[in-house]
Structure 1
Amino acid sequence: MKKFPLLLALLLANPLSGFAQQATAPLQRTIPTVTRTVQIFSTLENELNDAVQQRNSGVIDKRLADDYELRTAAAPAQPTPRAEWIASALKQAPFASQVQQMAVHEYGNLMVVSFLWSLDVPAASQLAKNIFVVDTWKQVDGDWKLAVRYAAPADAQHKKVPGADPSGIDTKKKI
C-alpha cells in the first residue's frame, strides 16, 4: 500500500514532464496542403475571372446560376442581379487578379467558398485592390454554378470585426 502513492506520483509527474518538453520545443511551421475542394473551386473561380477578362459570355453564362446576385458591404440591402452584374463586369477594363487564402466548406450540394481576391488595378481605379469574397456555389445538373457572391473591401486600415483576432493575419499567404 505504501508503494501506491509513490507510483501514482510518478505517473502524474511523467505526463507533466512531457508537457514541459513540448512547451519548450521550438515551433515548427508547416506548409498547408491544398485540399481537393480548394483545387476544384480555385479552378472554377479563376475560370470565371478569366472569362470576364476575356469577355467570354459562354463561360460566364455556364458558371453563373440563373438567379445569381452580388451583395456588397457598401449596399447590403441592394443586390446586383445577374444581368446587371454581367453588363457591369464586361464594361470594366480588363485587369489581372489573384485568388488567395481560399477556404471551402461543403454542405451537400452547396459549397461556401471564401477567399481574398487581389486585383492588379491602376492606383486611380475606383476598385479596391483587395476584396474579401464569400461565394455560394450550388450543384446544378452535375455542374457547379455560382449562386450568390458577398464581397467587401479588405484593406488593412479597416477596423476589426467583433470576435475576430487579426493578429495572425498574413496577407501574403497563397491559396
Structure 2
Amino acid sequence: MAWLERLVLAGAGTLLLVSVAVPAAGTADAPAPRQRVVTMTRFMKIFSQHEYDLIDAVRSGNKGLLDRLLPEDFEQRNAASPGSPVPRDEWLKANDLQGAGTALITELAVHDRGELAIASFRLKLKERDFFIVDVWRHKGADTYELLTRYAAPVAAAPVAAPSGPNTKQ
C-alpha cells in the first residue's frame, strides 16, 4: 500500500509540475511565424527548365531551340503599353534577356489548364526586376511552346491596394 501512496504522491507532484509549467509557457514570447516551404511540383520543374532554356536560347541565338519554344505568332505584351504587342522577331532583336549577367527566376507558379499552361514568376536581371506571366501551349509529352508573354516591371515599393467595396469615383 505504501507504494500506491508514493505513486499517487509522485503523480500529484507531476501534475503540479505540469500545471506550473503550462502558465510559464504561456508568458513566453510568441514563436516566430512559420516559413512557407515550397515543394517543386512536376510542372514547376518542367516550366522552370523551359524558361531557363528560353533565356539561354535568346542569349546564344540558338535558332533551333527558339523555333521549338516560340511559334511565329508569339507576342509579348508589356504593362506600359498593353495595346501594342511586341511580335516575335522584334522581341528577339530588342530583348532584356540579351544582356550578360545572371537571370534568376523566383516565385514560380504553374497552372495546368489542359492544352494551356500558365506560368507566372519573378525574373531578376541585373538591377531589373519583372513580373512575368507566360502562356504555354502543350505540344506533346513534356514539350510546350510559348504563345504569349505578359511583362511588368516590379515596383520598388509595394503599391497600396484600393480600399472599400467601390473604388470608382
Mapped contact 2:97–2:125 kept (Cα < 8 A): no
Aligned partners of 1:48, 1:161: CA distance in 2, in Å?
A: 33
Name the residue aligned to 1:96: 102
Aligned AA for 1:48? Answer: L
What amino acid is the match of 1:136?
A: V
CA distance 1:42–1:140, shift in 2 (3 Å) = same
* 1:29/1:48 CA distance change after superposition, 3 Å: same
| 1:34 matched to 2:40 | yes
My pick for the range that moved more, 154-163 or 67-76, is 154-163
Q: Is the 8 A contact 1:114 1:133 kept in 2?
A: yes
Match of 1:78 among 74, 84, 95: 84
Query: Which amino acid letter does the alignment assign opposite residue 88 of structure 2?
Result: R
Match of 1:52 among 48, 55, 58: 58
TM-score normalized with structure 2 length? 0.70
What percentage of residue pairs aligned between the two structures are identical? 37
In structure 2, relative to structure 1, the CA distance for the partners of 1:75 and 1:139 (3 Å cut) is: same
Deviations 1:60-85 (A, max 9, x none): 11101221000000110000011111
**Once the 2 structures are TM-superposed, how far is the Cα of residue 108 of structure 1 from its aligned partner?**
0.2
How many residues are paired up?
134
Hey, what does 2:6 align to over in structure 1? none
Counterpart contact for 1:53–1:95, Cα < 8 Å:
no
Aligned-partner Cα distance in 2 for 1:63–1:42: 13
* Structure 2 match to 1:118: 124
CA contact (8 A) 2:59 2:97 kept: no
8 Å CA contact retained: 1:52, 1:90? no
Can you give the 5+ residue segments of structure 1 that lack an aligned partner in the other structure? 1-20, 122-128, 164-175
Larger Rg: 2
Q: In the alignment, what sits opposite 1:150?
A: 150
Q: 1:91 to 1:35 in 2, by over 3 A?
A: closer
Counterpart mapping for 1:156-167 below 5 A: 156-157=156-157, 159-160=159-160, 162=162
* TM-score normalised according to structure 1 size: 0.68
For 1:162 and 1:54, how far apart are their aligned partners in 2?
43
Q: Which residue of 2 aligns with 1:8?
A: none
* Alignment partner, residue 14 of structure 1: none
**Alpha-carbon offset, residue 159 of structure 1:** 2.3
Alignment match, 2:166: none
Q: 1:91 to 1:30 in 2, by over 3 A?
A: closer
Counterpart amino acid of residue 144 in structure 1: Y
Quick check: 89-98 or 145-154, which moved more? Answer: 89-98
Counterpart residue type for residue 103 of structure 1: A
Judge conservation of contact 2:55–2:97 (CA < 8 Å) in 1: no
